[in-house]
Amino acid sequence: MSDLVYVLNGPNLNLLGTREPDIYGSATLDEIAGMLEDRARDLDLEVDVRQSNHEGHLVDWLHEAQAEGAKAVLLNAGAYTHTSIALLDAIRSIAVPVIEVHLSDPATREAFRHVSYVGMAAAGEVKGLGPQSYVVALEKAAAL
């Protein structure tokens, strides 16, 4: 097992900072990546932060995390959290622990966001802390 943690971000997260800031805050994905890189150094970890609007890329990256012997994956699958059986199957097919991450708390939002296919297979979840959700998830990954 390596000290590498994949940080995978799904659809529309490339628009953080301008997308519904009342829900998601004003931090950009690049700013969150910077926070993670700083904290990862303190934890003797390396992070590989990626984003795609395409479900298949996320599946491929989960498989890659397994092939590369990653320590963990932090996954904010965006809307795919609530729709993607493909991501559920991909998480179940790898031994790398996946920690589900959300900026907001889906349980306090629309009913369709209350089901998490990612959560059905994830080793843990951090939600509702804004950008700090990622940092807390990275700390959980370090403790694995």
DSSP states along the chain: --SEEEEEE-TTGGGTTTS-HHHH-S--HHHHHHHHHHHHHHTT-EEEEEE-S-HHHHHHHHHHHHHTT-SEEEEE-GGGGGT-HHHHHHHHT-SS-EEEEESS-GGGS-GGGS--TTTTT-SEEEESSTTHHHHHHHHHHHH-
Find the catalytic residue in 54, 63, 82, 102: 102
Higher pLDDT, 25 or 78: 78
Contact 121, 91 (CB under 8 A): yes
Cα distance between residue 81 and residue 75, in whole Å? 9
In this predicted structure, the answer to whether residue 66 has a pLDDT above a threshold of 90 is yes
Q: Mind listing the pLDDT tens digit for each residue in 86-121?
A: 999 999 999 999 999 999 887 777 787 678 999 999
Find the catalytic residue in 24, 80, 117, 134: 24
Helix pair 29-42, 132-143: axis angle to 10 deg: 30
In this predicted structure, the answer to whether residue 1 has a pLDDT above a threshold of 70 is no
State yes or no: is 134 an active-site residue.
no
Q: Mind listing the pLDDT tens digit for each residue in 14-27?
A: 998 987 777 777 89
In this predicted structure, the answer to whether residue 80 has a pLDDT above a threshold of 60 is yes
State yes or no: is 24 an active-site residue.
yes
Structure tokens at 73: 């994956």
In this predicted structure, the answer to whether residue 143 has a pLDDT above a threshold of 90 is yes
Q: What is the pLDDT of residue 79?
A: 93
Q: Are strands 46-51 and 72-76 parallel, antiparallel or unpaired?
A: unpaired
Q: What is the mean pLDDT of the chain?
A: 93
The domains found in the chain, sorted by start residue, are 4-143 (3.40.50.9100)
pTM of the model: 0.94
